[in-house]
Amino acid sequence: MAVPIDTAERRLGQAIAALGTNGFAACFYAWLRHGLDCDNATMLAYFQDRRPEILYVCAAATEVHENLENAYLPGAYLLDPFHDLHVRKVPPGLYRLREIAPDAFTRNEYYAAYYRATTLIDEIAYVSYPAPGVSVHVCLGRDAGSGRPFSAGNIGLARKLEPIARELCIRQWSALTSSGDYADATIAGRVIAAMRARHAISLSPRQAEVALLILRGHSSVSIGLRLGISPQTVKVFRRQLYRKCNISSTAELFALVMPLLSEPPPKTGPAPTPDAA
Amino acid sequence: MAVPIDTAERRLGQAIAALGTNGFAACFYAWLRHGLDCDNATMLAYFQDRRPEILYVCAAATEVHENLENAYLPGAYLLDPFHDLHVRKVPPGLYRLREIAPDAFTRNEYYAAYYRATTLIDEIAYVSYPAPGVSVHVCLGRDAGSGRPFSAGNIGLARKLEPIARELCIRQWSALTSSGDYADATIAGRVIAAMRARHAISLSPRQAEVALLILRGHSSVSIGLRLGISPQTVKVFRRQLYRKCNISSTAELFALVMPLLSEPPPKTGPAPTPDAA
DNA sequence: GGGTATATACCCCCAAGGGGGTATGATGGC
DNA sequence: GCCATCATACCCCCTTGGGGGTATATACCC
Helix (H) or strand (E) holding A100: helix A97-100
The Cα B190–Cα B112 span in angstroms is: 24
Mutate one of A67, A70, A109 to test the B interface: name it (highest B CB count within 10 A): A109
The pLDDT of residue B44 is above 60: yes
The pLDDT of residue A268 is above 60: no
Decide: helix, strand or coil at residue B91: coil
Neighbour count for residue B273 (Cβ, 10 Å): 7
The confidence score (pLDDT) of residue A185 equals: 66
pLDDT band at residue B62 under the 50/70/90 scheme: low
Decide: helix, strand or coil at residue B44: strand
The Cα B262–Cα B71 span in angstroms is: 8
Cβ–Cβ < 8 Å for A172, A23: no
Q: What is the mean pLDDT of chain B?
A: 85
Q: Which amino acid is at A72?
A: Y
Average pLDDT over residues B141-149: 80
Cβ distance of B252 and A108 shorter than 8 Å: no
* Nearest CB partner across the interface for B248, out of A106, A117, A249: A106
pLDDT band at residue A63 under the 50/70/90 scheme: low
Chain D nucleotides reached by a protein CB under 7 Å? 5-11, 15-22
The confidence score (pLDDT) of residue A84 equals: 92
The pLDDT of residue B91 is above 60: yes
Average pLDDT over residues B70-98: 92
The confidence score (pLDDT) of residue B149 equals: 85
pLDDT digits (tens, 9 = 90+) for A207-249: 999 999 999 989 998 999 888 888 889 999 999 999 888 888 8
The pLDDT of residue B273 is above 60: no
- From chain B, pick out residues whose CB is under 8 angstroms from the CB of A256: 116
The confidence score (pLDDT) of residue A194 equals: 86
The confidence score (pLDDT) of residue A226 equals: 87
pLDDT band at residue B90 under the 50/70/90 scheme: very high
pLDDT band at residue A49 under the 50/70/90 scheme: confident
Q: Which amino acid is at B158?
A: A
The Cα A67–Cα A119 span in angstroms is: 12
Average pLDDT over residues A95-122: 84
Cβ distance of A109 and B251 shorter than 8 Å: yes
The Cα A223–Cα A103 span in angstroms is: 10
The confidence score (pLDDT) of residue A211 equals: 92
> B46-55, B59-68, B130-139, B264-273: which range is least confident on average?
B264-273
Q: What is the mean pLDDT of chain A?
A: 85
The Cα B266–Cα B189 span in angstroms is: 9
Question: Torsions phi, psi of A56, nearest 5?
Answer: -165, 140
* % of chain A with per-residue pLDDT over 90: 43
* % of chain B with per-residue pLDDT over 90: 45
The confidence score (pLDDT) of residue B181 equals: 66
Cβ–Cβ < 8 Å for A105, A217: yes
- Taking CA–CA distances from B249, the nearest residue in chain A reads A107
Taking CA atoms, A268 is separated from A180, A190, A196, A264, A272, in Å, by: 8, 11, 17, 11, 8
The residues, any chain, with a CB within 8 Å of residue A153's CB and separated by 6 or more, are none
Does B256 reach chain A within 8 Å, measured CB to CB? yes
Average pLDDT over residues A168-175: 96
The Cα A43–Cα A53 span in angstroms is: 9
pLDDT band at residue B169 under the 50/70/90 scheme: very high
CA of residue B220 to C1' of nucleotide D16, angstroms? 9
CA of residue A23 to C1' of nucleotide D22, angstroms? 61
pLDDT band at residue A62 under the 50/70/90 scheme: low
The pLDDT of residue A180 is above 80: no
The pLDDT of residue A115 is above 70: yes
Helices A250-261 and A205-216 cross at an angle (nearest 10°) of 100
The pLDDT of residue A5 is above 70: no
Cβ distance of B255 and A108 shorter than 8 Å: no
User: CB of residue B206 closer than 7 A to nucleic acid strand C?
Assistant: yes
- From chain A, pick out residues whose CB is under 8 angstroms from the CB of B256: 116
The pLDDT of residue A128 is above 80: yes
End-to-end CA separation in angstroms for chain A = 70
The pLDDT of residue B94 is above 80: yes
DSSP code, position B70: I
The Cα B106–Cα B123 span in angstroms is: 14
The confidence score (pLDDT) of residue A7 equals: 84
**Segment of A2-11, A63-72, A140-149, B37-46 carrying the highest mean pLDDT:** B37-46
Cβ distance of A251 and B117 shorter than 8 Å: no
The pLDDT of residue B272 is above 60: no
Neighbour count for residue B276 (Cβ, 10 Å): 7
User: CB of residue A103 closer than 7 A to nucleic acid strand C?
Assistant: yes
The pLDDT of residue A1 is above 70: no
* Chain A 74-133, residues with CB within 8 Å of chain B CB atoms: 106-109, 111-113, 116-117
Does B185 reach chain A within 8 Å, measured CB to CB? no
Q: What are the strands, taking DSSP E only, across B79-200?
A: 93-96, 120-131, 134-143
Higher-confidence residue of B187 and A83: namely A83
Higher-confidence residue of A185 and B228: namely B228
Domains in chain A with CATH codes:
8-172 (3.30.450.80), 184-261 (1.10.10.10)
The pLDDT of residue A82 is above 90: yes
